[in-house]
Amino acid sequence: MKTDSGSSADSDGPDHLKIGLVSISDRASAGIYQDQGLPALQDWFGHALSSSWSMETRLIPDERAAIEQALIELVDQAQCHLVITTGGTGPSRRDVTPEATLAVASKEMPGFGEQMRQISLQFVPTAILSRQVAVIRETDKHAALILNLPGQPKSIKETLEGLKDADGKQLVSGIFAAVPYCIDLIGGPYIETHDAICKAFRPKAAIRNKS
């Protein structure tokens, strides 16, 4: 377990976002090969977020009990507002990330999984084999959004950011465009992004006027 600072902004402020990142892989957690999921996520958030944030990471095997424990700890104890998993979402016997995620959920957010598969289907027909889910976990005083992402760095970027043409025009929306407003709605911090990477979408009434 470790905590990484993602921004030099005030980490104690009310709009500081805390992100939990969980990479799920038997071989990477055993040191057989180097994990790629956590570095890819850290790099993406480092470029995409303009508001204050930090992250806490986990690298664990494909064990349902371990995944559930990590998700519960990151939400209930570490007080993360957003938790992202990478890996373990396919149809094989060892792929149990969706089951673990649903087991700790208060409510499911099916639109995220639908859009993740829609993005991946632009590239490979086997995207229909992905079982990624998204949920909200709520406690008495805290709530967090939990998202299952794919394991490959290229797919992680495409899923979060979406697809653009050569001129930068958005062709397919990435899922992160909807994340800041979702975090608003569950009582989390106000997240701001660099529009060139991923423009956060909010209804006009929910947009803060920048001073």
Residues near 53 by Cβ (< 8 Å), separated by ≥ 6? 6, 7, 9, 16, 17, 18, 19, 45, 191
pLDDT for the residue 8: 43
Fold type of domain 2-206: Molybdenum Cofactor Biosythetic Enzyme; Chain A (3.40.980)
| Sheet with 2-5: strands ordered across | 2-5, 53-60, 17-24, 82-86, 143-149, 134-138, 107-108
Q: Cα dihedral sign for 142, 52, 112, 93?
A: negative
Report the chain's terminal Cα–Cα distance, integer Å. 37
Share of the chain above pLDDT 90, in %: 80
108's tokens: 């499911």
- The reported pLDDT for the residue numbered 210 is 65
Flag whether the pTM goes above 0.95: no
Enumerate residue ranges in the chain where pLDDT < 70. 1-10, 12, 210-211
The per-residue pLDDT for range 140-197, each reduced to its tens digit, is 999 999 999 998 899 999 999 998 888 888 888 899 999 999 999 999 999 999 999 9
- pLDDT at res. 2: 46
CB atoms within 10 A of CB 16: 17
Residues contacting 40, CB < 8 A, separation 6+: 86, 153, 156, 157
Q: What is the pLDDT, as a whole number, of residue 211? A: 52
The domain segmentation of the chain, as residue ranges, is 2-206
Nearest CA-CA partner of 187 in 147, 144, 135: 144
Compute CA distances 7 → 147, 187, 194, whole Å. Answer: 22, 21, 13
E strands of 25-69, at which residues? Answer: 53-60
- Output the CA torsion sign for 93, 95, 101, 104: positive
Which pLDDT score is estimated for 7? 53
Distance of CA 154 to the CA centre of its chain: 15
